[in-house]
C-alpha cells in the first residue's frame, strides 16, 4: 500500500486565501481543515514560509496587525518544518537554476533568496506535492515554481485541487 500524499504549502496559498476568498470571518472551516489535515500529517509548510507570513508581527510586542500572522503563530506553527536536512537537494535546485541560461542573473538571485527555492527542494527531497498559486509561464525575469517542478518531476497543484484531493469541503 502506498503512503498518502503529503502537500507542502507555498506562502501564497495562505496569503491569498486570507486576503481574497477564505477570510477567517467568512470561511473559518477552511482554516480548521488545514489544521486537521496538518495534524494528520497531510499538510505542512516550511520555516521560510512561516517567516514570510509572520513579517507582520511587531518585533517588540509580538502582536500582529495581520490575522494570518496571528493564526500562523498560535495555530499552525508546529506544522512549519525546518529545512536544514534538505540542504543537498536545495543545492541541486539552486545549481540547476544558476546554470540555466534562460533566466536573468537577478531572477536567479531572487529565486535563491526567497522561500520558493526551499519549497521546491523540500517537495523534491520528501516526495511531496507542492501547492502553489503560481502558474507555468515563460519568463526570463522570474524563476516560476512550476518550471522548476517540471524540470525535477515534482508534482504541483493549486489550493482547490489540493482541497479536492483531500476531500476538504466548506459545508
Q: Are 5 and 42 in contact (CB under 8 A)?
A: yes
Most distant CA atoms of the chain, gap in Å: 49
Q: Which CATH superfamily is domain 7-166 in?
A: 5'-nuclease (3.40.50.1010)
Give residue limits of the domains in the chain: 7-166
Q: Which phi and psi (to 5°) does residue 96 adopt?
A: -60, -45
- What pTM value is reported for the model? 0.91
Digitized pLDDT (tens) for each residue of the chain, 171 residues in all: 455 799 999 999 999 999 999 999 999 999 999 999 999 999 999 999 999 999 865 555 555 568 999 999 999 999 999 999 999 999 999 999 999 999 999 999 999 999 999 999 999 999 999 999 999 888 899 999 999 999 999 999 999 999 999 999 998
Q: Are 100 and 124 in contact (CB under 8 A)?
A: no
Amino acid at each position: 500500500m502506498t503512503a498518502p500524499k503529503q502537500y507542502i504549502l507555498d506562502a501564497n496559498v495562505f496569503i491569498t486565501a486570507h486576503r481574497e476568498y477564505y477570510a477567517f470571518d467568512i470561511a473559518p472551516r477552511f482554516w480548521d481543515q488545514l489544521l486537521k489535515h496538518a495534524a494528520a500529517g497531510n499538510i505542512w509548510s516550511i520555516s521560510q514560509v512561516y517567516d514570510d507570513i509572520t513579517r507582520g508581527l511587531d518585533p517588540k510586542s509580538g502582536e500582529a496587525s495581520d490575522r494570518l500572522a496571528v493564526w500562523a503563530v498560535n495555530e499552525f506553527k508546529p506544522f512549519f518544518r525546518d529545512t536544514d536536512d534538505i540542504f543537498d537537494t536545495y543545492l541541486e535546485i539552486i545549481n540547476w537554476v544558476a546554470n540555466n541560461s534562460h533566466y536573468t542573473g537577478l531572477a536567479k538571485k531572487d529565486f535563491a533568496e526567497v522561500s520558493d527555492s526551499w519549497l521546491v527542494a523540500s517537495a523534491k527531497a520528501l516526495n511531496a506535492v507542492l501547492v502553489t498559486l503560481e502558474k507555468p509561464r515563460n519568463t526570463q525575469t522570474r524563476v516560476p515554481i512550476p518550471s522548476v517542478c517540471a524540470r525535477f518531476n515534482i508534482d504541483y497543484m493549486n489550493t482547490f485541487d489540493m482541497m479536492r484531493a483531500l476531500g476538504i469541503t466548506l459545508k
